[in-house]
Every structure is written in structure tokens, then in C-alpha cells.
């Protein structure tokens, strides 16, 4: 790291279990974020600020007026622009030292392999079940950790899945692929603006822990947030020994 980086990241480097080694691991990391809406906005901002080396930003959508209530990457002047374009502008202004790779297309099972090559972590910030299941399969196949989250109304949930660990469940252990194309999105159910910020920020927190090896992650657990009661619950999430996606997948000690 140069002097500017040491100054920029000094408050993280001061942490006794983070230090320069943790920051160097972040700077060497590459993360794919799928979805630049409410969850992706919060996660991308904090990962950029924290100094992840490379962010691959995937979203096929354009900025709409209804997005601005919660998708804080985008501004009024971005209306009609591709979300990846406005995201790159905002993130580059925040931290020009982070490499940003915009992917303006809908990711699916048949093209994910092109974009996860060399990636250290996957962040599922989508609201689409099809891409969630495709990301999970890609995570298991390529043995790349996945941090997946969802938020609706006043509630949210967060889980981490690490196929490098033999006892880690995958997303399919939690939810079965029943052929539905869309998750219950904000457009049909509504969401309080800070809900996605709370959960998206925690996605960034989990990502940093997985990338640096610091602290205890949510692998094998599911965290639930009830915003009305301002209450949290953490549930144990065991691996499904009959899961068609991860039960027979190879593992290694990571």
C-alpha cells in the first residue's frame, strides 16, 4: 500500500484483528455484485469505501423514479440511465482506487461462468428467484462463497453460504426451486427505505469477514430482521444431506 491508501484505510488498519494484513487482503479481492437496487446500493457503497480491489457490477435495468426512495447509488439526474452507469459514477467518485467492471446484462445460468472467473465472493442483491438459484449453483460449482439477502416491507434476511466448508448448506437447502421466476419484489409489496440499507450494509459486513477471515460469519445460519419490533433472530440452517445442488459437491479446506 502507498501512503494515500494507508491514510484512507487507517481506521480499519487500526483494528487489532484487521491491521495491514486485512486491508491487503481486501485490496486483492474481487467481488461480483448482482443487482444494483436497494440492497446492492448499500453493499456496493460500503465495499467500495472499505477498499475491495475489484467490484463487478451486474444489472440490466435502468433508473426509474420509483427507485430513488431506497436505491441510494442513483440520483434524480440518473433517471433513464443504466443502473450500472450511474453506479460506476457514484462509486468512482467515492473511491477511485477500486476497479469497477460494469455488466449491463441480465445474468443467467448460461452466462454466469463468464463473469465469476477469478472472483473471490458473490453477492446476491437480486429480487429474482431464477438468478438466485443460478448464483447458488455457480457458487457450489466454482466453490466461491455467496452472501445472499432479501428485504421486503419492514423485514429482511441474510445468509452466507461457503461451499469450501463441507458442512455449509447452500441456498437451495433453504429454498426449493419450484419454478417461480420472480421473488416477492418491492414493486408488488412495498418496502420501507432503510430496510434495504440495513440488510445491504450487513451484506457488505459479511463479505468483508469472508474475504479477510476475520470474525465469525453466518455460514450455517440465517439472520432475520423484524423492523417493526426492531428485533433480530438467528436461526441454525443445517446442510440438507439430500440437496440436489450441494450434497454431492466436492469440497476443500479453505
What residues are labeled active site? 186
Alpha-carbon span 142 to 249, nearest angstrom: 10
Q: Cα angle vertex 57, ends 84, 226, to 5°? A: 100
- Cβ within 8 Å of residue 224, ≥6 positions away: 155, 156, 157, 232, 233, 234, 235
Q: Which three cell numbers stand for residue 133?
A: 438459484
DSSP 44-111: HHHHHHHT-SEEEEE---B--GGGTTT-TT--GGGTTSBHHHHHHHHHHHH-TTSEEEEE-S---TTT
CA max distance for the chain: 52
Unique residue bearing C-alpha cell 430482521: 225
SS3 at position 221: strand
Amino acid at each position: 500500500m502507498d501512503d494515500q491508501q494507508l491514510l484512507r484505510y487507517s481506521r480499519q488498519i487500526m483494528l487489532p484483528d484487521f491491521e495491514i494484513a486485512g486491508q491487503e487482503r481486501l485490496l486483492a479481492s474481487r467481488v461480483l455484485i448482482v443487482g444494483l437496487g436497494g440492497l446492492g446500493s448499500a453493499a456496493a457503497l460500503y465495499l467500495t469505501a472499505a477498499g475491495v480491489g475489484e467490484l463487478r457490477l451486474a444489472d440490466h435495468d435502468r433508473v426509474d423514479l420509483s427507485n430513488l426512495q431506497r436505491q441510494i447509488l442513483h440520483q434524480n439526474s440518473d433517471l433513464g440511465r443504466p443502473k450500472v452507469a450511474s453506479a460506476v459514477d457514484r462509486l468512482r467518485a467515492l473511491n477511485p482506487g477500486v476497479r469497477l467492471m460494469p455488466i449491463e446484462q441480465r445474468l443467467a445460468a448460461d452466462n454466469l461462468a463468464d463473469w465469476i472467473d477469478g472472483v473471490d465472493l458473490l453477492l446476491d442483491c437480486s429480487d429474482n428467484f431464477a438468478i438466485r438459484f443460478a448464483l447458488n449453483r455457480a457458487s457450489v460449482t466454482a466453490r466461491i462463497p455467496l452472501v445472499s439477502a432479501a428485504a421486503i416491507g419492514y423485514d429482511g434476511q441474510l445468509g452466507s453460504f461457503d461451499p469450501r466448508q463441507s458442512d455449509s448448506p447452500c441456498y437451495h437447502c433453504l429454498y426449493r426451486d419450484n419454478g417461480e421466476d420472480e421473488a416477492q419484489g418491492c414493486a408488488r409489496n412495498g418496502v420501507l427505505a432503510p430496510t434495504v440499507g440495513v440488510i445491504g450494509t450487513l451484506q457488505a459486513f459479511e463479505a468483508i469477514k469472508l474475504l479477510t477471515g476475520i470474525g465469525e460469519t453466518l455460514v450455517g445460519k440465517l439472520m432475520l430482521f423484524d423492523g417493526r419490533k426492531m428485533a433480530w433472530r438467528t436461526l441454525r440452517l443445517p446442510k440438507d444431506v439430500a440437496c440436489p445442488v450441494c450434497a454431492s459437491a466436492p469440497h476443500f479446506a479453505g
